[in-house]
Amino acid sequence: MLAAVPLSVKRRAVPGRYRQDAADVSQRELSVTIVAGVRLEASKPAASLDRLVELLRTDLAGVNTLILERMQSPVALIPQLAGHIVAAGGKRLRPMLTLAAARMCGYRPTDDARPRHVALAAAVEFIHTATLLHDDVVDASDLRRGLATANSVWGNKPSVLVGDFLFSRAFQLMVEDGSLKVLAILSHASAVIAEGEVLQLVTSNDTTTDEEAYLAVIRAKTAQLFAAASKIGAVVCDRPEAEELALESYGRNLGIAFQLVDDMLDYSADEAALGKTIGDDFREGKITLPIVLAFARCDEAERPFWRRTLEELDQKPGDLEHAVQLLRKHGALRDTLERARDYGGLARSALDLFRDGPEKRALIEAVDFSVARAY
Amino acid sequence: MLAAVPLSVKRRAVPGRYRQDAADVSQRELSVTIVAGVRLEASKPAASLDRLVELLRTDLAGVNTLILERMQSPVALIPQLAGHIVAAGGKRLRPMLTLAAARMCGYRPTDDARPRHVALAAAVEFIHTATLLHDDVVDASDLRRGLATANSVWGNKPSVLVGDFLFSRAFQLMVEDGSLKVLAILSHASAVIAEGEVLQLVTSNDTTTDEEAYLAVIRAKTAQLFAAASKIGAVVCDRPEAEELALESYGRNLGIAFQLVDDMLDYSADEAALGKTIGDDFREGKITLPIVLAFARCDEAERPFWRRTLEELDQKPGDLEHAVQLLRKHGALRDTLERARDYGGLARSALDLFRDGPEKRALIEAVDFSVARAY
């Protein structure tokens, strides 16, 4: 399996996913890693977002301050609920793309005014958070299936309305920034994300969904915001269109790789130890690439299982385990990861246009991290 | 009761709500109306939006075309669901405010390009439609109370996501228009609307809500968009700030009057013949002004009724009728209408700044219509 990892030793001394600490890389470790590769595969991933976080520490602090400031409202429930999701908010990967892209393109804040890339990174995070809140909305039928998790504290309606509030705040931040180009990119992205989310609903519980339809969903619901977040980094620096497009391509391919790995992880039972809950997609009947591949490859005898569990959502204890077994039998998880690596490779190549530097290296490591999460 | 109607004979020969046809107004009719006022109160309202619709016929057709065009998507469920609400979409009152305000401020479209006021009116309607869709979202607890009406066909999630799509489309229209000032006004309005909707949730089922808290809710959830829609009419004409503020004040006060009458109509059982369903607010335990007033005026013996029906939502057959009886006993409906008239008067006065003309007269009739709906 190691051969499938796109080794770009020129760019990175060691394939990110095997590295413990980027600063300690040496040729000796590289050879050790390759020899021990297969065995090490079960160990913790080495590629991380640490380099990106370290490089952007000050900018990220600015983003967090701004997020806290702009989620305030005299209506106390808004900061309460928003704080709940913003605190749990995880990696800040999308705003970091804006920050790092802007830095890589040479952005230097002027004087003591709020740096533009920080304000726009906060806007990107608000859009992402609003999407998460709206994604938590459930129908009564879902509740009956026991799926009400994320919005169980607050209910549907506050989740929707606070999402709307944060979405509006995102646009207010962009308007203050004053770039119509940025506004065009992010309002377009928002429309595409909504389209992607609806398309995902439409393909849910439909085992005839093919790879193309699945890719259309994740390009829209996930990759569009990664692409926009990266692209606006070049826009704030007034860089040539070629650089905007390169960053857009970087973000889009990274986003696809990221989502593919997410979808794979939802069935990677042996990773439960890492704290990742598995089986959510299965329980909802979401048709992700592992399912698309396994269904396309399965024989007549297996088809009724998928139809019962994913179309009719008639699931029994042991079904998830059986699903994982079928996915492994048909190489569906392996090939999903393979696709993720390919898109990761495209994301890396998109950065060829830019000179080497700490931001570029950190953005490349973000790709490695996104794929390495699979181990 | 007639004395309470702010008669401005200089502006309108006859108070709008008694008029059959604005074109036929004469002094003779005025005196007849006043003499017969109390008796006529039960008859059908005469003030309507017809004048506004007639005046803006071409512009409105442009808005409708643009709405149909921009709600399209390769994801078929989006135009299906959006079409459902847009077709049922009613009066187009908010976009008409933008159109009429722009026309009153002297807006003349240039050449064959899409008129700015039409594009922005469509954006306003998209924001309104998105709000309606998100307002339809229900929690499982609501469903158990039998309240699932509006989104029963599609479910919560598509309603939320299509709302997001339309909201994004609104911003795309504004970005194409290119005015950062308009973008600032409408993104601010969107944030305030979301705050108002959350505040409404917070005050629901809470009989201690006072008039001030209630007004804060409707200023935000309803009047803010009326205000913004009217104000941007002046903005597209680059009119002085005084005119922007006058139109903002017109819209805000009209919006408050409109919502007050809406809230009153929800208890005006004798208007059921007009096709208005009543009792929705009561069944949800919404605390509107009629309730605030009746609760403040009720004696110790009546309080448990309101607590049981609105706080605990423990409602029995006959409770709505009893509620209406209590509202009437305490003059709560009458005084809600009185407040609506006052705000209507403020809306009218706000237009004093503008010269007489067909748009101004139509905007004044929109105020009369909003209050006259109560009869």
d(CA A174, CA A124): 10
Dist CA B60 CA B89 (whole Å): 13
Which residue in B340, B337, B339, B362 sits closest to B351, CA to CA?
Answer: B362
Phi, psi of A10 (to 5 degrees): -60, -40
Segment among A240-249, A302-311, B2-11, B144-153 with least mean pLDDT? B2-11
pLDDT confidence of B268, banded at 50, 70, 90?
confident
Does residue A202 sit at the B interface (CB-CB below 8 Å)? yes
- Over its length of 375 residues, how does chain A's per-residue pLDDT go in tens digits? 233 323 222 222 222 222 223 333 233 333 222 222 233 344 455 788 999 999 999 999 999 999 999 999 999 999 999 988 877 657 899 999 999 999 999 998 887 678 999 999 999 999 999 999 998 887 655 544 444 444 566 788 999 999 999 999 999 999 999 999 999 999 999 999 999 999 999 999 899 999 999 999 999 999 999 999 999 999 999 999 999 999 999 999 999 999 999 999 999 856 555 555 689 899 989 999 999 999 999 999 999 999 999 999 999 999 999 999 999 999 999 999 999 999 999 999 999 999 999 999 999 999 999 998 866
CATH class of B49-372: mainly alpha
Q: Which two tokens stand for residue A22?
A: 């980027």
In Å, how far is A128's CA from the nearest CA of chain B? 13
Three-class SS of residue B202?
helix
Q: Say if A20 is an interface residue toward chain B (CB within 8 Å).
A: no
Q: Which of B161, B175, B201 sits opposite A157 (nearest CB)?
A: B201
Radius of gyration of chain A (CA): 21
Both structure tokens of A180: 């119509």
How many angstroms separate the CA atoms of A236 and A120, rounded?
9
Higher pLDDT: B20 or A184? It is A184
CA distance A95 to A129: 11
As a whole number, mean pLDDT of residues B169-187 equals 98
Q: Residue B88's pLDDT is what?
A: 65
Nearest CA in chain A to B201: A158
Instruction: Note whether B158 contacts A183, CB cutoff 8 Å.
Output: no
**pLDDT value at position B45?**
52
Q: Note which residues in 226-255 of chain A have CB less than 8 A from chain B.
A: none
**pLDDT of amino acid B147:** 44
B149 pLDDT above the threshold of 80: no
Going from the C-alpha of B276 to that of each of B42, B125, B268, the distances in angstroms are 16, 22, 9
**Res A37: pLDDT:** 29
For B64, half-sphere exposure in the C-beta direction (CA atoms, 13 angstrom radius) is 14
Cβ of B178 under 8 Å from any chain A Cβ? yes
Q: How far is CA B31 from CA A23, A262, B25, in A?
A: 92, 75, 11
User: What Å distances lie between residue B258 and A273, B40, B60, B265, CA to CA?
Assistant: 58, 22, 21, 11
Q: Between the CA of residue B96 and those of A51, B100, B217, B250, what are the distances in Å?
A: 54, 6, 23, 13
Residue B95: pLDDT over 70 = yes
Q: Is A143 on the interface with B (CB under 8 A)?
A: yes
Task: Give the per-residue pLDDT at A113.
Answer: 78
Structure tokens of B174? 């504004």
Q: Let me know: does A198 contact B78? Beta carbons within 8 Å.
A: yes
**Of all helices (H) and strands (E), which one includes residue B262?**
helix B241-265
pLDDT given for residue A375 in this prediction: 63
Residue B328 CA: distances (Å) to CA of B61, B208, B307, B335: 42, 20, 18, 10
Residue with tokens 């219509």: B369
Helix axes A241-265, A211-218, angle to 10 degrees: 120
Sequence-separated (6 or more) residues with CB below 8 Å from residue B194: A78, A161, A162, A164, A165, A168
- Which residues of chain B make contact with A137, given a CB cutoff of 8 A? 137, 156-157, 160
Residue range A47-372, CATH number: 1.10.600.10
Nearest to A191 among B172, B184, B188 (CB): B172
Decide if A199 touches B, using CB distance below 8 A. yes
Contact A137 B158 (CB under 8 A): no
Is B168 part of the contact surface with chain A (CB cutoff 8 Å)?
A: yes
Chain A residue with the nearest C-alpha to that of B185: A172
CA nearest to A248, candidates A167, A195, A181, A337: A181
* Average confidence (pLDDT) over B65-90: 89
CA distance B279 to chain A (A): 21
How far apart (Å, rounded) are the C-alpha atoms in residues A20 and A14? 10
Q: Distance (Å) from the C-alpha of residue B148 to the closest C-alpha of chain A?
A: 10
Mean pLDDT of B187-196: 98
Tokens representing B67 are 């709405």
Measure CB to CB from residue A167 to each of B74, B140, B167 and give the nearest one. B167
Which residue bears the tokens 């004469």?
B26
Joined together, the tokens standing for residue A233 give 């980094």
- Does residue B201 sit at the A interface (CB-CB below 8 Å)? yes
Residues 6+ apart with CB under 8 A from A127: A166, A167, A170, A186, A189, A190, A193, A225
| Token pair 């109390």: residue | B38
CB–CB contact B134 A165 (8 Å)? no
What does DSSP assign to residue B71? T
Per-domain boundaries in chain B: 1-46, 49-372
> Which of A268, A251, A260 lies closest to A211 in space, CA to CA?
A260
Separation in Å, CA A16 to CA A51, A88, A97, A153, B115: 12, 26, 18, 38, 54
Residue matched to tokens 């029963």: B152
* Among B147, B167, B173, B225, the residue to mutate for chain A (most A Cβ within 10 A): B167
Block residue for tokens 């944030």: B191
Q: How far is CA B67 from the centre of its chain?
A: 20
Following DSSP, what letter does each residue of B348-360 receive, concatenated? HHHGGGSPPSHHH
pLDDT band for position B373 (50/70/90)?
confident
Rounded-to-integer distance, Cα B183 and Cα B221, Å: 18
Q: What percent of chain B has pLDDT over 90?
A: 72
Does B139 touch chain A if contact means CB atoms closer than 8 Å? Answer: yes
Grade residue B65 by pLDDT with cuts at 50, 70 and 90.
Answer: very high
pLDDT, mean over chain B:
84
How far off is chain A from B160, nearest CA to CA, in Å?
7
Q: Tell me, what amino acid is at B355?
A: R
Helix/strand/coil (H, E, C) string of chain A? CHHHCCCCCCCCCCCHHHCCCHHHCCHHHHHHHHHHHHHHCCCCCCCCCHHHHHHCHHHHHHHHHHHHHHCCCCCCHHHHHHHHHHHCCCCCHHHHHHHHHHHHCCCCCCCCCCCHHHHHHHHHHHHHHHHHHHHCCCCHHHHHCCCCCCCCCCCHHHHHHHHHHHHHHHHHHHHHHCCHHHHHHHHHHHHHHHHHHHHHHHHCCCCCCCHHHHHHHHHHHHHHHHHHHHHHHHHCCCCCHHHHHHHHHHHHHHHHHHHHHHHHHCCCHHHHHHCCCCCHHHHHCCCCHHHHHHHHHCCCCCHHHHHHHHHCCCCCCCHHHHHHHHHHHCCHHHHHHHHHHHHHHHHHHHHHHCCCCHHHHHHHHHHHHHHHCCC
Whether the predicted model's global pTM rises above the 0.90 cut: no
